[in-house]
Homo-oligomer: A and B are copies of this chain.
Amino acid sequence: MLTQDKQQRNWKPIIKQFEAVLGKNGVVQRREELITYECDGLTSYRQRPAVVVLPRTTEQVAQVVKICDRYSIPFIARGSGTGLSGGALPIEDCVLIVTSLMRQILSVDLENQRVVVQPGVINNWVTQTVCGAGFYYAPDPSSQIICSIGGNVAENSGGVHCLKYGVTTNHVLGLKIVTPDGSIVDIGGQIPEMPGYDLTGIFVGSEGTLGIATEITLRILKSAESICVLLADFTTVEAAAESVSDIISAGIIPGGMEMMDNISINAVEDVVATNCYPRDATAILLVEIDGLEVEVTANKQRVAEICLKNGARNITSASDLETRLKLWKGRKAAFAAAGNLSPDYYVQDGVIPRTQLPYVLQEIEALSQKFGYQIANVFHAGDGNLHPLILFDNSVEGALEKVEEVGGEILKLCVRVGGSISGEHGIGADKKCYMPDMFSEIDLETMQWVRQVFNPQGLANPGKIFPTPRTCGEAASASKQQFEGVERF
């Protein structure tokens, strides 16, 4: 019935209202122009939105959302569209609110180490803006030269440096948000800890289901005096994994600590030819150490000793910028290089306790054998955030479904050892069916209650995160029941 309603929707007067708010240039409705917006980084799912709007201010976002609320039109916010879990995937007959014209850095306060940005600002711009004064913005997803801060907030994005410095939520002090009824609400503030409920914490990572952030106050950090990158190569995965555990156990927290397996090493050497990664290594570790010069020198020594004790064959290190970038180049190109190994690949994102690394890598190898797909492993080893790349050929009938099954098995494995079905890519449309593997019914119910508080009509990014969105009837009756006969003090 709902579909019928939607098919009958008369968009003309609605688009007129959008144009009144945004001007004609702020509304995209031609079929060929809408193609760009059919999917985000999860390209296997596609759906054309009915209309795309391009607001420039908080007030415009609020007015657009009010129109959606009035006509009960589902709306979905989108930043740069680089997300890997389909968090910005349109649904049929929706409005896509794209923040790419909201690209102003609104204020920079170096003394108090904070920057206020609009959501369309590119992640890397924040660091570019403040690096001259010796500061940087820590969360650094692989897509940082193109992804937007708004998208990072929605997905609670991570990156190589999140081992030491934490993910996006640790760097967002406050938000101005437009709630799904079009109200403008300020949550959090300009200082790290605020009284009352931590609404900022619940909003970051909520994948657009609680509203749209239109101003974001970020914490910036002082750049380290000295940085050094070590590359250690190993003949067994266990030795590399043991080194990771030992480094952390020694109380060293590297800026980043990444592992790549033999398949990945050869893939990147084929493509970008760093000539630094030994092609016969079973695994390499890249360890970045930052801090005071004296501290970096001492920790470099300690990390090298730990790796050698665990059987590393060689250790190379670099402190100058050029060589450091060269050592990182292969890691940064790993996903792209995987595209050279097979026609398609499927990247998974799961988390495990660090101590389970050797066991989980064995099990992934067993899955690879069982299903007959090569799996390359590239991951944030320090925080146990795996990114197995399953290599396949999508032109083979049924291959995608089989690969998704392998991906699902890997996620269940992560949950079984006490980990998580997502480290930094979010749940989106892609992983919602795995939420019950991780959360009990009552846990999910509790999250749904929170969603309904902000988003009672269910218009903000429907069909994401939760496996079985309640129907509106259930929601309304559950709520009524909940508040029935209530006595308050």
A159 contacts the other chain (CB 8 A): no
- Which of chain B's residues have a CB closer than 8 A to the CB of A452? 453, 483
A204 contacts the other chain (CB 8 A): yes
Distance between A379 CB and nearest chain B CB, rounded to angstroms? 14
A158 contacts the other chain (CB 8 A): yes
Q: Which of B194, B196, B222, B473 contacts A251 (CB 8 A)?
A: B222
CB atoms of B475 and A488 under 8 A apart:
yes
Residues of chain A in range 430-463 having any CB-CB distance to chain B below 8 Å: 431, 435, 438-440, 442-444, 446-447, 449-454, 456-458, 462-463
CB atoms of A453 and B457 under 8 A apart:
no
A82 contacts the other chain (CB 8 A): no
Contacts known (A183-B442, A193-B158); A199 close to B245, Cβ less than 8 A: no
Q: Which residues on A are within 8 Å of B, measured CB to CB? A: 2, 72, 74, 91, 111-113, 134, 156, 158, 166-167, 169-170, 179, 183-187, 189-199, 201-202, 204-206, 222-225, 245, 248-251, 291-295, 297-299, 351, 353-355, 383-384, 418-424, 426-427, 431, 435, 438-440, 442-444, 446-447, 449-454, 456-458, 462-463, 465, 469-473, 475-476, 479-480, 482-484, 486-489
Q: Which of B222, B446, B488 contacts A199 (CB 8 A)?
A: B446
Q: Could you list 19 A-B pairs, sorted by A, with CB under 8 Å?
A: A2-B487, A111-B245, A111-B355, A112-B355, A134-B251, A186-B439, A186-B443, A191-B351, A195-B420, A195-B421, A197-B451, A198-B204, A223-B251, A292-B299, A295-B298, A463-B489, A472-B487, A479-B480, A480-B480
CB atoms of A191 and B353 under 8 A apart:
yes
Contacts known (A197-B206, A450-B453, A489-B463); A192 close to B298, Cβ less than 8 A: no
CB atoms of A457 and B486 under 8 A apart:
yes
Distance between A208 CB and nearest chain B CB, rounded to angstroms? 12
Contacts known (A251-B225, A480-B480, A483-B475); A439 close to B193, Cβ less than 8 A: no
Distance between A342 CB and nearest chain B CB, rounded to angstroms? 28
Distance between A207 CB and nearest chain B CB, rounded to angstroms? 9
CB atoms of A419 and B457 under 8 A apart:
no
CB atoms of B442 and A462 under 8 A apart:
no
CB atoms of A197 and B202 under 8 A apart:
yes
Contacts known (A196-B447, A197-B206, A456-B483); A191 close to B471, Cβ less than 8 A: no
- Which of chain B's residues have a CB closer than 8 A to the CB of A473? 488
9 new A-B contacts, CB < 8 A, other than A446-B453, A472-B488, are: A91-B489, A111-B354, A169-B193, A195-B205, A198-B198, A224-B251, A292-B295, A470-B488, A472-B487
CB atoms of B297 and A111 under 8 A apart:
no
- Bound-state Cα–Cα, A299 to B447, Å: 45
CB atoms of B486 and A74 under 8 A apart:
no
- Bound-state Cα–Cα, A251 to B223, Å: 7
- Which of chain B's residues have a CB closer than 8 A to the CB of A156? 193
Main secondary structure of the interface of A (DSSP, over half): loop
- Bound-state Cα–Cα, A188 to B192, Å: 21
Q: What residue of chain B has the Cβ atom nearest to residue A211's Cβ? A: B446
Distance between A41 CB and nearest chain B CB, rounded to angstroms? 17
Q: Which of B111, B185, B190, B423 contacts A442 (CB 8 A)?
A: B185
- Bound-state Cα–Cα, A193 to B169, Å: 10
- Bound-state Cα–Cα, A422 to B458, Å: 34
Distance between A193 CB and nearest chain B CB, rounded to angstroms? 6
- Which of chain B's residues have a CB closer than 8 A to the CB of A449? 453-454
Most chain B C-beta atoms within 10 Å of own C-beta, residue among A197, A418, A451, A480: A197
Q: Which of B112, B223, B353, B456 contacts A486 (CB 8 A)?
A: B456
CB atoms of B443 and A192 under 8 A apart:
no
Q: What residue of chain B has the Cβ atom nearest to residue A168's Cβ? A: B193
CB atoms of A418 and B453 under 8 A apart:
no
Distance between A254 CB and nearest chain B CB, rounded to angstroms? 13
Contacts known (A483-B476, A489-B91); A450 close to B197, Cβ less than 8 A: yes
Q: What residue of chain B has the Cβ atom nearest to residue A291's Cβ? A: B295
- Which of chain B's residues have a CB closer than 8 A to the CB of A167? 193
Q: Which of B419, B438, B458, B489 contacts A458 (CB 8 A)?
A: B489
